[in-house]
Amino acid sequence: MQYNSRNAGTYAVLDLKGDVDLSCSPDARKQILQCLEAGRHLLIDLSAVSYIDSSGVASLVEGYQTAKKKNLRFGLVGVSSAAMGVLQLARLDKVFPIHASVEERMSADG
């Protein structure tokens, strides 16, 4: 897995790329929580994720729960078909706010 964080308006955007599995999900979790600890709204771009397992999904769930506790916005953007399949299987596509792009999410904020 590779990752990059960037700013987009009031959001931190975390771009994940490659496989998000047991070997790298602790890094993903760390990056997610660091953004939220800094008090930033967070969008996670999954457009370049080729595979995600339950440990990767658990990192997303923890981020979502942490954001809710801190009253921060959290969402997934550009979810790849591989990642969407896993989210749908776990029915998390009904839980996570999912947007086509960062720009779409930002325009929804008004």
Does 110 reside within a domain? no
Does 107 reside within a domain? no
Q: What angle do CA 27, 43, 71 make, to 5 degrees?
A: 100
Does 97 reside within a domain? yes
Q: What angle do CA 101, 2, 21 make, to 5 degrees?
A: 95
Does 108 reside within a domain? no
Domain CATH code at residue 64: 3.30.750.24
pLDDT tens digit sequence for 73-86: 999 999 999 999 99
Supply the pTM of this predicted model: 0.93
For β-strands 11-20 and 2-8, DSSP reports them as: antiparallel
The mean pLDDT of 9-37, rounded to a whole number, is 94
Domain residues for the domain of 74 are 2-101
Does 109 reside within a domain? no
Q: How many domains does the chain have?
A: 1
Judge residue 43's burial from the number of C-beta atoms within 10 Å of its C-beta, 0-12 exposed, 13-18 middle, 19 or more buried: buried
pLDDT tens digit sequence for 43-61: 999 999 999 999 999 999 9
